Amino acid sequence: MQGRRVVITGLGALTPVGNNVPQYWDALSNGVSGSDWITHFDTTHFKTKFACEVKNFDATAYFDRKNVRKLDPFVQYGIVAADEAMADAAFNLENEDLSRFGVIMGSGIGGIHVFAEEVTSFVEGGKIPRMNPFFITKMIIDIGAGQISIKYGLRGPNYSAVSACATSSNCIIDAFMLIKFGYADMMLAGGSEAPITEMGVGGFNAMKALSENNEEYKSASRPFDVRRDGFVIGEGAGCLVLEEYEHAVARGAKIYAEIAGIGLSADAHHITAPDPEGLGTTQVMRNALKDAEISAEDVDYINVHGTSTPLGDVSESNAIKRVFGEHAHKLNISSTKSMTGHLLGAAGAIEAIAGVLAIKNSLIPPTINFEQADPECDLNYTFNKAQERVVNVAISNTFGFGGHNTSIILKKPDFVSGK
């Protein structure tokens, strides 16, 4: 579909394996696991006792104490990632039309931490309604986008998308379309999540989605390994600066990659389980390739959703084989969730960043923790060690509970498809 070109000119990340983009990429390149014992709460009575927490994060290093009290951790994480992305993009905001600069930052769950605190306080207080005056503004999902726009004075489109684990990819896709069709020139887009709480871990345990492999907690996130038993929950944020190509060139911006096309679809199958044949995921990748006008044979790398669940990994593998045919076995594929865990609504953003950096550095990050093959997963998943490869085109796949599917195609700005 014709429209303006959209490029990526800034990156920001706060993850379980690195508190900024350089640290994050170094950890991915070296196959570092972010999984460890949960420190945020007492796990004595929980089936899962480990997670991928952000390490060594001191909110007072980024915010004054007044704002620490006003901001839920998911908002703090999102602002920190946005700050890094803005610094990386190196704008002189005095020279920009800020009515053309917007923010779309989402979250799958939002302020679950403050919500649980306030309910507990209400119940233990004899049901006297003495609520924190910042309760609502700490909890609501859109507040991250709002806080970022206020900080930088960005008056363009401002909202949040919510589609469970596909959230931040949907935010990037929305930002892409707003720029492509002329509603904005610059956008901050991504997502943040802070779900490692009693309610978050307990809820996912109850639905049997999390790994309970406490004996092997460091390697429990093992996508495509036959012994996988569920995902490892993670936290953090990712943010990208999207910019209209001519605008970026005119200001001499560093351009990491171009968003060539996007795909959207629904499984229309089940609230949590993927379609076993991968019909929705097949459609979303085909939609993205068509939108980008790129041949399937041009794709070098797919950063897959790859959550380490028994059904999901097989379904996505089947979809890749259906879309790419013989070329499916020539692709490099990896699930960086093997290192970061699953950041839910923030997953798509940090994984899109991984795809961008794979293009920039000609390096495929690995899928770690692999030991035993699953005969139903027979593609090149880049197991255990990063692989050097020129990457002209990469795909970032992200799927969410409810059957929400997204696919983003990234490419070198000067790459032209042979299609």
Give CA–CA dist 106/173, Å, rounded. 12
Query: Do residues 341 and 217 touch, judged by C-beta distance below 8 A?
Result: no
Q: Is 45 a catalytic residue?
A: no
Q: Is 239 a catalytic residue?
A: no
Burial label, 182 (beta-carbon count in 10 A; 0-12, 13-18, 19+): exposed
Burial label, 265 (beta-carbon count in 10 A; 0-12, 13-18, 19+): buried
Of the residues 52, 305, 377, 404, which is catalytic? Answer: 305
Phi, psi dihedrals of residue 415, rounded to the nearest 5°: -80, 135
Of the residues 52, 113, 165, 171, which is catalytic? Answer: 165
Whole-Å CA distances, 51 to 207, 378, 405: 17, 28, 25
Query: Do residues 278 and 33 touch, judged by C-beta distance below 8 A?
Result: no
User: What does the DSSP assignment read for 278-304?
Assistant: -HHHHHHHHHHHHHHT--GGG--EEE-
Give CA–CA dist 37/29, Å, rounded. 23
Of the residues 52, 113, 247, 342, which is catalytic? Answer: 342
Give CA–CA dist 264/30, Å, rounded. 32
Query: Do residues 166 and 110 touch, judged by C-beta distance below 8 A?
Result: no
Q: Is 171 a catalytic residue?
A: no
Maximum alpha-carbon separation in the chain: 69
User: What does the DSSP assignment read for 302-345?
Assistant: EE----S-HHHHHHHHHHHHHHHGGGGGTSEEE-THHHH-B-GG
Q: Which residues are catalytic?
A: 165, 305, 342
